[in-house]
Amino acid sequence: MDEIVLRGMAKWPDVPAVYGWLSLDRRGHWLIKGDRIANSGVIAFIGRNYTHDEQGRWFFQNGPQRVFVALEHAPFVYRVVNSKDAALEIESHVGKPVTAVSGAWIDEMGVVLLETEHGIGTIHDGDLDRLLPSFVDANGTLLDETALDELLELVEGGQSVALWLTFRQRNIKVEPIRSATVPGRFGFIAHPVQPAGQPECC
C-alpha cells in the first residue's frame, strides 16, 4: 500500500467503511455508482491499494477508510499482453504481471478463469482470441480450430475434456465450472454489504 495510506490508517483507525459505491466490472474497469472512472491517476491509486480482508471481501484502502468493492465476476481481470506469436504473458487489471498459473476453468458462458499468485480472475473477453493458441491437448500439441471449438463447447456444457493451457512451459488442466459457484469455491464475497449495527458512511 502507499505510504500515505498506511499513515492515514495509523492516524484514524476507526473510520467507517463504505459499501455500495465502488465496483469492478467484467473488463477490469472501476466504477463509482455505475459511472466508470477515467482518471488514470485515480485508477493507479486504487490498484496499488486494492486488497481483501479475512472474510474474502475485496476493498480499496482510501487513506484510513475501506471502500468495499462489488465484483461483477471475480477479484481480478487478466489481460493477455504478449505480442502476436510470442509465448503467453498475462497481467492483472491492476498492472501486476503473472508469473504462475495454478488452475484454469471455463464456465457455462465461455468465461475463462485463471488462478494465479494474485488470486482468481477472468480473462478479459477481448483477449480470448489471443489466448486460443495457448490451448493444447494431453500431449502438449496445438489444437486445430475445429477440434478446439468442439472441446470448448463441451467444457462450457460442464464436461471434463482433454484440454490444457500452456503457460511458461507448464500445462494447466482446463476444467468446467459453474459461474454461480465461483465466489464460494475461491473464498471471496462478490457483493459486500453493510453489517448490521455497523456505522454507515457515505
The ranges assigned to domains in the chain are 3-72, 76-182
The reported pLDDT for the residue numbered 84 is: 86
Q: What are phi and psi of 25, to 5 degrees?
A: -90, 180
Q: How far apart are CA 58 and CA 68, in angstroms?
A: 6
pTM of the model as a whole = 0.91
The reported pLDDT for the residue numbered 7 is: 52
Q: What is the tens place of the pLDDT at every residue in 127-167?
A: 999 999 999 999 999 999 999 999 999 999 999 999 999 99
The reported pLDDT for the residue numbered 5 is: 46
Give the per-residue SS3 of the chain: CCHHHHHHHHHCCCCCCEEEEEEECCCCCEEECCEECCCHHHHHHHHHCEEECCCCEEEEEECCEEEEEEECCCCEEEEECCCCCCCCCEEECCCCECCCEEEEEECCCCCEEEEECCCEEEECHHHHHHHHHHEECCCCCECCHHHHHHHHHHHHCCCCCCCEEEECCEEEEEEECCHHHHHHHHCCECCCCCCCCCCCCC
The reported pLDDT for the residue numbered 42 is: 95
149 touches 128 (CB < 8 A): no
Q: Which residue has the cell 498506511?
A: 6
| Residues with pLDDT less than 70, the chain | 1-14, 197-202
Q: What is the tens place of the pLDDT at every residue in 148-157?
A: 999 999 999 9
The reported pLDDT for the residue numbered 11 is: 41
The reported pLDDT for the residue numbered 63 is: 83
Question: Nine-digit cell at 144?
Answer: 486445430
Please check whether the domain covering 3-72 is classified as CATH 3.10.20.30.
no
The reported pLDDT for the residue numbered 144 is: 93
